[in-house]
Structure 1
């Protein structure tokens, strides 16, 4: 089996966190079927292709077995719902970087528009089994835009779409995608990296204070993550009990969040902007935390939720997207806030801190969703069309 993955969401040495769920999935699929030849074309937004400039991105250490090749895909904001056509042209150019005579047996394309929609238009790839992956915003936002919605629905006639939550699947079905062409497969979790551990030892290792309750956020500082709510709720909770909020990640809202925290009374002793961290570091921060937090406006089923459970730590979140699909059956592992109210969120945080779950039971629940199980389901959907 020769599998070609085409996507903009794939890491490089400069951005090792980009598309981390996708590269982890590919490694898991390779482990599941060692005989498979998996290759990646990563097309990043940029105009270097038109200018004849070679894409300078380099492979992240450890990903060489996936043979990633980096290239440019032009993206014009004013071109809007036609950008998949530009993406298709970029894919045609990028295909030339594959070894002579190498032809894919199947295609895997995370991100619906423009990536998967563009790939479906490439003549050289027509007729190949295509599995596209809906990750979140490509459904939540793009189905409201007529041109992109039409492109996604056309894709759903040609490809099998995997959604990373049932909520995303239902949104596609309500828009008109055929039910037989859309299925839900939750992301996996790395149970070897994320597992319970001694909280005090983890805090000592990270030079964190031992005394206050520690809250952890992991993600991008983007508007969709609704971090203003988390910071305000943490400030309210701090008026009741000592807390330490740690934010792992970065993004355009960092300066705004720092200013909000300072005005809310969360000084350096109460909030830490830790920057981006690798998976092993994030896992150690989770073992050091009392609870993991999310305050998004919408989500699929975020990896950080599964990683929190695998680490034996409770999860506090707004009730967004498909989060309840995983948290509802969990053994006392989550507190969801139905409304975007800082006082209600602060109360949920207090509840999670006051009644921690059994970390062994919670971690065992997460083990049922490890990456190998996820990889098997992806292979099933890729191979099934070949066997018809």
Structure 2
């Protein structure tokens, strides 16, 4: 294909989590939203997308058409239930074989390009791209070496096997997509990626669902008192995301300003995931020990329209992550007119911009001070709310999809580097099972 060519059909690979899964449940999160939204917008721009993901329940159909041009294909690989993300490296052979079978029943050249997400998918995508003689584009979303540099207290380091697997995918990919310039630098500095093959494509936000609205109406709908001071956390309940930082800071805020006690509501939206599922964080016990058990409200993951209502209802969204490739929840909240206080890590400075406050580190006193600035200063909160809406307008998913098409075009126009795709291949995939 010539420079600037667009693929007719992309094989999108998301092994460990379906784009149709509810964000906040298990391993589902921002990556799910990313895969689903870019697939939809790519299809609307004329590039069809088949998303390959692992079957996790017996009731899942083999194929789900999301909308014209977007198909999710569920591939059996290991037991449907009971496998954690950490168990999946042993199922990559079965997953790859399932992808090969799908392609074997399609016309030659059915897929023009493979775009894999997260390192597990990168291993499978590497094999598929090599077999089909098409480019491999890969998005890390998170990286072991970055996460291990910023571990939360009590969190488990990522295993050496993941680091090795990521390094292999970095070497094999024709293009690497980074969410921010900082992530691009991390790929180069920590994984020795070729800078010429790294492209920055910022994620987007659904500006139709996430938009300003009445705080009073949102609170009435959600059962939040009209005069509450609502601090909100949205994300998976695991040490990496730092929900305990918000609980501790809220208790310190009450200690400094006792008059807030009767009005303070700390909303924690999300489900346990990763190390947080294996070793529960005990946020309810923490809140009780700190004397704010009655102020903390735990809410299971909700659908996107309801999530937008929570953002509108909140005075502040806290994003105290220890590592974050971008931080979609920050932009979603800003699109609803809610100021953000976030950790100064990863892609959060880009996601927040000048429309929120950044905190260096995770010290309880520092977080209480930052939250207090917004809670106690309605004028500042109003100023940041207006900036937040303006800032979020630059992050529509259509723009993200268009940038990806540019990256795809670059990958398609690049002469095939045989040394990459015939270098050490993904081991453990017996050719006998591949059609």
* 2:53–2:72 Cα contact (<8 Å) kept: yes
Match of 1:152 in 2: 166
Match of 2:106 in 1: 100
1:87 aligns with 2:116: no
1:57 aligns with 2:60: yes
Structure 2 distance, partners of 1:124, 1:311, is 43
* 1:134–1:168 Cα contact (<8 Å) kept: no
Match of 2:177 in 1: 162
Residues 271 and 25 (structure 1), Cα distance of their counterparts in 2 relative to 1, 3 Å cut = same
1:246 aligns with 2:267: yes
102-111 or 210-219: bigger deviation: 102-111
Residues 61 and 2 (structure 1), Cα distance of their counterparts in 2 relative to 1, 3 Å cut = closer
Match of 1:6 in 2: 13
Aligned-residue CA RMSD (Å): 3.0
Match of 1:69 in 2: 73
Structure 1 distance, partners of 2:314, 2:176, is 36
Deviation at 1:370, TM superposition (A): 1.0
* 1:237–1:243 Cα contact (<8 Å) kept: no
132-141 or 212-221: bigger deviation: 132-141
SS at match of 2:267: strand
Instruction: Report the TM-score when normalising by structure 2.
Output: 0.77
SS at match of 1:68: strand
Structure 2 distance, partners of 1:194, 1:300, is 21
1:288 aligns with 2:301: no
Deviation at 1:29, TM superposition (A): 1.8
C-alpha distance after superposition, 1:38-60 (max 9, x if no partner) = 1111126x8xxxxxxx9543489
C-alpha distance after superposition, 1:258-315 (max 9, x if no partner) = 11112212233x1111111111111111111101011111111110011121111111
C-alpha distance after superposition, 1:187-216 (max 9, x if no partner) = 101111111112112111222101121111
Q: Which has the higher contact order (CA 8 A, sep 6+)?
A: 2
Match of 1:237 in 2: 253
* 1:84–1:115 Cα contact (<8 Å) kept: no
1:136 aligns with 2:114: no
* 2:219–2:225 Cα contact (<8 Å) kept: yes
* 2:212–2:336 Cα contact (<8 Å) kept: yes
Residues 249 and 58 (structure 1), Cα distance of their counterparts in 2 relative to 1, 3 Å cut = farther
SS at match of 1:208: coil
Aligned with 1:348 (options 361, 370, 380): 370
SS at match of 1:217: strand
1:24 aligns with 2:37: yes
* 2:96–2:127 Cα contact (<8 Å) kept: no
* 2:63–2:72 Cα contact (<8 Å) kept: no
* 1:188–1:374 Cα contact (<8 Å) kept: yes
Aligned with 1:188 (options 192, 201, 204): 204
Structure 2 distance, partners of 1:73, 1:165, is 33
Match of 1:49 in 2: none
* 2:241–2:321 Cα contact (<8 Å) kept: yes
Residues 184 and 28 (structure 1), Cα distance of their counterparts in 2 relative to 1, 3 Å cut = same
* 1:5–1:40 Cα contact (<8 Å) kept: yes
Aligned with 1:309 (options 329, 334, 337): 334
Structure 2 distance, partners of 1:222, 1:337, is 20
Residue ranges of structure 2 left out of the alignment (5+ in a row): 1-7, 150-157, 415-435
Structure 1 distance, partners of 2:53, 2:288, is 40
Structure 1 distance, partners of 2:62, 2:231, is 33
Structure 2 distance, partners of 1:232, 1:60, is 45
Deviation at 1:28, TM superposition (A): 2.0
* 1:6–1:110 Cα contact (<8 Å) kept: yes
Deviation at 1:86, TM superposition (A): 5.0
Residue ranges of structure 1 left out of the alignment (5+ in a row): 47-53
Residues 86 and 255 (structure 1), Cα distance of their counterparts in 2 relative to 1, 3 Å cut = closer
1:174 aligns with 2:192: no
Structure 2 distance, partners of 1:216, 1:59, is 37
Instruction: Report the TM-score when normalising by structure 1.
Output: 0.86
Residues 351 and 133 (structure 1), Cα distance of their counterparts in 2 relative to 1, 3 Å cut = same
